Amino acid sequence: MTPLEVIFWIASAVILISAIMMVTRRNLVHAALFLIVTLFGVAVYYVLLEASFLAVVQILVYIGAIAILVIFAVMLTRQVTNPGQLFNKHASLALVMSILVFIGLYLALSVWPEFSAVAPEADTAAAISNLGTAFFVEEDGQPVYLLATMTASVLLLIPLVGAIFVARQKE
């Protein structure tokens, strides 16, 4: 086994085990901490896949912003009434559904001819500058992803304004 494969298997184990731990925790703060561990494992995956920009964004946005937001929400909505049941009454049906979805995804992918493809040699060091160019710069007189970038920034701004409006304390 090459060192990369060892890292891959460790990251896979961390992702899956901490995801299962997250789903089954009673204490939501513990669940949020396991969510952070899972997200960190996904960041390791991005490094293995040589998508360094996305690995950094994963840590900044997911762990730095979303996970902290979730922890704050957990702390602000302390469940005082009805702390009893963890799962709703359809939990066993949901388990069957999830396992069926996993089997279905596996079967659908396993008949695909490129399922066990190996990574081609690629100049992934140039990918970061290519990504920045694709986001903002026109190529051959045509903006490649400029409209998508602008739409994404508006999509980020408007829900945040809406979130402040919804969560505001009314006098």
Interacting positions 70-109 with other proteins (CB under 8 A): 70, 73-74, 76-77, 79-82, 85-88, 90-91, 93-95, 97-99, 101-102, 105-106, 109
Instruction: For residue 138, list its beta bridge partners.
Output: 143
Report the site for other proteins in 48-67 (rule: CB under 8 A). 48-51, 53-54, 57-58, 61-62, 65-66
**Minimum distance from CB of 141 to other proteins (Å)?**
19
Q: Which phi and psi (to 5°) does residue 85 adopt?
A: -85, 140
Residue with tokens 């997200």: 39
**Which amino acid belongs to residue 72?**
F
116 burial type by CB count under 10 A (0-12 exposed, 13-18 middle, 19+ buried): exposed
Instruction: Report yes or no: 36 and 68 within 8 Å, Cβ to Cβ.
Output: no
122 contacts other proteins (rule: CB under 8 A): yes
Q: Among residues 98 and 138, whose Cβ is nearest to other proteins?
A: 98
31 contacts other proteins (rule: CB under 8 A): yes
